[in-house]
Amino acid sequence: MSYAIKEMFLTLQGEGLQAGRRAVFLRFAGCNLWTGREADRASAVCRFCDTDFVGTDGENGGKFATAEQLAAAAALLWGEEPGTRFLVVTGGEPMLQLDPPLVEALHKLGFEIAVESNGTLPATPGIDWLCISPKAGSEVVQRAGDELKLVWPQPGIDPAALLDWDFGAYLVQPMDCGSEEANAQAREAAIALVMSDSRWRLSLQTHKLLGLK
């Protein structure tokens, strides 16, 4: 298959337990919970997305004919730095395009593969680090992984029920609400959840705090 990439760039992973790591960030185009068009947001399953995943016109974006071509482009962005190559795959929804040939091609070039998914599709085999971020109103089928990231507050989700799923860590991340007042309320709600149940851990979008993509 070919791969539609919105953008790909070298940065620091900003979220979750892997935050702070040097990473090539690969964003697939397309999602199964929202078209990405503002006109469709009100009727979408996921209505709070703050990401542009439409098209292939972002930094280093484009269509790649083979898994080997895409993996080579990621390796070129990483460069000759001697540490373990680390790739964060996201979207949109990456499981719409991430397939075993691409996982194999990335592993051959020495990449550790981390994936951020909404969990509505089964995880592709071979992923090294799996983060699932459930969205209210969706049917999550991937209920096991390395970390669960709950964007909060999110009406329609019971945080206590998520703790029955099989994850190594349970993270709560304040929703980016678009205004400072609303963002402050989201931070307070996330902190309150952690303080009410120590199985949760606070996660912040540190790349935004640092002015990174």
Catalytic-role residue among 40, 50, 59, 197: 50
**Which one from 7, 15, 28, 49 is the annotated catalytic residue?**
49
Q: 131 catalytic, yes or no?
A: no
Q: Low-confidence residues of the chain, pLDDT below 70?
A: none
Active-site choice (46, 86, 90, 147) = 46
The one catalytic residue in 7, 28, 31, 53 is 31
Q: Which of 7, 15, 25, 64 is catalytic?
A: 25
Which residues are CB-neighbours of 128 under 8 A, at least 6 positions away?
112, 113, 114
Largest CA distance in the chain: 49
DSSP structure string for the chain = --EEEEEEEEEE--SGGGTT-EEEEEEES--SS--S-GGGGGGSS--------SSS-STT-EEESSHHHHHHHHHHHHTT--SPEEEEEESS-GGGT--HHHHHHHHHTTEEEEEEE-SSSPPPTT-SEEEE---TTS-----EEEEEEEEES-TT--HHHHTTSEEEEEEEEE---SSHHHHHHHHHHHHHHHHH-TTEEE---HHHHTT--
**Token code pair at residue 67:** 């898994």
The model's pTM is 0.95
CATH code for residues 3-209: 3.20.20.70
Identify whether 124 is a catalytic site residue. Answer: no
Is 50 assigned a catalytic role? yes
Rounded distance between C-alpha atoms, residue 49 and residue 45, angstroms: 10
Spatial separation of the C-alpha atoms in residues 167 and 190, rounded to whole Å: 19
Active-site residue 104, yes or no? no
Instruction: Say which amino acid occupies 57.
Output: D
Sequence spans of domains, the chain: 3-209
Q: For position 130, what pLDDT does the model report? A: 98
Residue 183 and residue 174 in contact, taking contact as beta carbons nearer than 8 Å: yes
Confidence at residue 83, expressed as pLDDT on a 0 to 100 scale: 85
pLDDT of residue 10: 97
- Catalytic residue status for 48: no
pLDDT at 105: 98
86 is catalytic: no
Q: In degrees to the nearest 10, what's the CA dihedral of 203, 209, 210, 213?
A: 80
Per-residue pLDDT at 66: 98
